[in-house]
Amino acid sequence: MLVPGGTLVFIEHVAAHDNPARRRWQERLEPAWKRVFGNCHLARDSEAAIARAGFAFERLERASMQKASPVVRPTIRGIARARG
């Protein structure tokens, strides 16, 4: 929980929007992945979820975790501030 104007610093692996084949694999694997990895979502649109939760982005970067498994490589990293 953040106070109005509080800062959220985040790094999230996200759905592969720029790679349709990888995205399909994320969607296929997600049901089992969630059970094995504590409800972790491979194909979640975290950027949209953060915005829906009432945050405004101050900084947002898309990057690849090069040494990670291909299904978790796409990430977003940044800073968002709670509106209010």
Model's pTM, two decimal places?
A: 0.83
Number of neighbours of residue 41 by Cβ within 10 angstroms = 17
How much is the average pLDDT of 58-71? 94
Q: In 3-state terms, what secondary structure has residue 34?
A: helix
* pLDDT at residue 1 is higher than 80: no
Cα separation, 60 vs 24, in Å, equals 24
| Residue 77, phi then psi, degrees to nearest 5 | -140, 140
Domain residue ranges of the chain, discontinuous segments joined by +: 7-82
Give the total residue count for the chain.
84
Q: Is 80 exceeded by the pLDDT of residue 4?
A: no
- In the chain, the N- to C-terminal Cα span, in Å, equals 13
Question: 24-58, pLDDT tens digit by residue?
Answer: 999 999 999 999 999 999 999 999 999 999 999 99
Helix runs in 1-84, H state only = 20-36, 46-52
